Amino acid sequence: MKLSDILVGIGQTNFQGDYSIEIESICFDSRECKKGSLFVAVDGNQADGHLYISKAIENGASAIIYQNPDYEAAASIVTEVRVADSRAALAQAAAQFYDNPSHKLHLVAVIGTNGKTTTATLLYELFTQLGYNCGLISTIANYIGRKEFHTEHTTPDPVSLNNLIAKMVKDGCQYCFMEVSSHSIDQDRVKGLLFAGGIFSNITHDHLDYHKTFDNYLRCKKKFFDCLPSSAFALVNIDDKNGTVMIQNTAAKIYTYSCHSIADFRCRILDQTMEGMLLKIDDTQLWTMFIGAHNAHNLLAVYGTAILLGAEKEEVLTIMSKLKAVNGRLEYLRGGNNITAVVDYAHTPDALENVLKTLKETAKDEYLICVFGCGGNRDKTKRPEMGMIAGKYADRVIVTSDNPRFENPNDIINDIKAGMDTKTRAKSVFIVDRKEAIRSAIMFAPQGAVILVAGKGHEDYLIIGDKKTHFDDKEVIAEVFGEPQQ
pLDDT in tens, 54-76: 999 999 999 999 999 888 665 55
Residues of the chain below pLDDT 70: 72-76, 205-212, 484-486
Domain residue ranges of the chain, discontinuous segments joined by +? 3-85, 101-320, 331-481
Cβ neighbours around 75 below 10 Å, total: 7
Which of 3.40.190.10, 1.10.10.60, 3.30.830.10, 3.40.1390.10 would CATH assign to domain 3-85? 3.40.1390.10
Q: What is the pLDDT of residue 153?
A: 77
Distances (CA, A) of 248 to 17, 116, 179, 222, 460: 44, 21, 22, 9, 40
CATH architecture of 331-481: Alpha-Beta Complex (3.90)
Choose among 98, 224, 119: nearest CA to 161: 98
Give the pLDDT score at 360.
94
Whole-angstrom CA distances from 294 to 240, 351, 451 are 11, 9, 19
- Cβ pair 134, 171 in contact under 8 A: no
Q: What is the pLDDT of residue 208?
A: 59
Whole-number pLDDT of residue 73: 60
pLDDT value at residue 50: 93
Check residue 18 and give its pLDDT: 77
Q: What is the pLDDT of residue 414?
A: 97
Strands 461-464 and 467-470: what pairing?
antiparallel
Record the pTM: 0.89
Q: What is the pLDDT of residue 204?
A: 81
Does residue 163 contact residue 98 with C-beta atoms inside 8 Å? yes
Fold exhibited by the domain 101-320:
UDP-N-acetylmuramoyl-L-alanine:D-glutamate ligase (3.40.1190)
User: For residue 32, what pLDDT is reported?
Assistant: 94
